[in-house]
A and B are shown apart, each in its own frame.
Chain A
Amino acid sequence: MTAARLLFALVCGGLFGFALAMGDMVNPARVLAFLDIAGNWDPTLLFFMGGALIVAVPLFQLTLRRANAPLFDRNFVRPTAGAVDVKLVGGSALFGLGWGLVGYCPGPAISSLVFGNPKTAVFLVAMLVGLYLGSVLTRPRIGQAAAA
Chain B
Amino acid sequence: MEPVNFWVALLGGGLLGFSAWLLFALNGRIAGISGIAAALLTPARGEWAWRLLYVLGLAGGAALFGYVVDPPKVITVDAGWPLVVIAGLIVGVGTRLGGGCTSGHGICGMSRLSIRSVVATLIFMAVAAATVFVTRHLIGG
- Could you list which residues of chain A lie within 8 angstroms of chain B, going by C-beta atoms? 4-6, 8-30, 32-33, 35-39, 42, 44, 47-57, 59-61, 63-64, 67, 69-79, 81-84, 87-107, 109-117, 119-120, 122-135, 137-138
**For the complex, what is the distance from the CA of A20 to the CA of B114, rounded to whole Å?**
23
- Could you list which residues of chain B lie within 8 angstroms of chain A, going by C-beta atoms? 1, 3-4, 6, 8-31, 33-34, 37-38, 41-42, 49-51, 53-67, 69-70, 73-79, 81, 83-103, 105-116, 119-121, 123-133, 135-137
Instruction: Kindly provide the distance from the CB of A8 to the nearest chain B CB, expressed in whole angstroms.
Output: 5
Instruction: Kindly provide the distance from the CB of A140 to the nearest chain B CB, expressed in whole angstroms.
Output: 13
- Closest chain B residue to A138 by CB distance? B96
15 further interface pairs, Cβ-Cβ under 8 Å (given A59-B17, A91-B120, A112-B73): A12-B20, A14-B58, A17-B63, A28-B75, A51-B10, A53-B110, A59-B25, A60-B108, A88-B116, A96-B94, A99-B87, A102-B79, A104-B77, A120-B75, A130-B89
**For the complex, what is the distance from the CA of A22 to the CA of B125, rounded to whole Å?**
21
Contact A114 B79 (CB under 8 A): no
Instruction: Kindly provide the distance from the CB of B29 to the nearest chain A CB, expressed in whole angstroms.
Output: 6
By DSSP majority rule, is chain A's interface helix, strand, loop, or mixed?
Answer: helix
**For the complex, what is the distance from the CA of A138 to the CA of B84, rounded to whole Å?**
24
- Closest chain A residue to B19 by CB distance? A15
**For the complex, what is the distance from the CA of A130 to the CA of B61, rounded to whole Å?**
25
By DSSP majority rule, is chain B's interface helix, strand, loop, or mixed?
Answer: helix
Our pick among A63, A94, A127, A128 for the contact of B98 (Cβ within 8 Å) is A94
Contact B136 A36 (CB under 8 A): yes
Known: A93-B94, A110-B33, A134-B96. A27 touches B75 (CB 8 A): yes
Our pick among A18, A53, A123, A133 for the contact of B84 (Cβ within 8 Å) is A123
> What are some 29 contacts across the A-B interface (CB < 8 A)?
A9-B57, A13-B54, A14-B61, A15-B19, A16-B19, A21-B62, A25-B12, A26-B73, A35-B132, A37-B129, A51-B14, A52-B16, A52-B20, A60-B108, A69-B28, A79-B100, A89-B98, A91-B95, A98-B88, A98-B94, A101-B87, A102-B83, A106-B102, A117-B77, A122-B88, A126-B87, A126-B88, A126-B89, A135-B38
For B38, B78, B92, B113, the residue with the greatest tally of chain A CB atoms inside 10 Å of its CB is: B92
**For the complex, what is the distance from the CA of A63 to the CA of B27, rounded to whole Å?**
12
Contact B124 A95 (CB under 8 A): yes
Contact B24 A13 (CB under 8 A): no
A126 proximity list for chain B (CB < 8 A): 84-89, 92
Instruction: Kindly provide the distance from the CB of A129 to the nearest chain B CB, expressed in whole angstroms.
Output: 6
- Closest chain B residue to A51 by CB distance? B13
Contact A94 B94 (CB under 8 A): yes
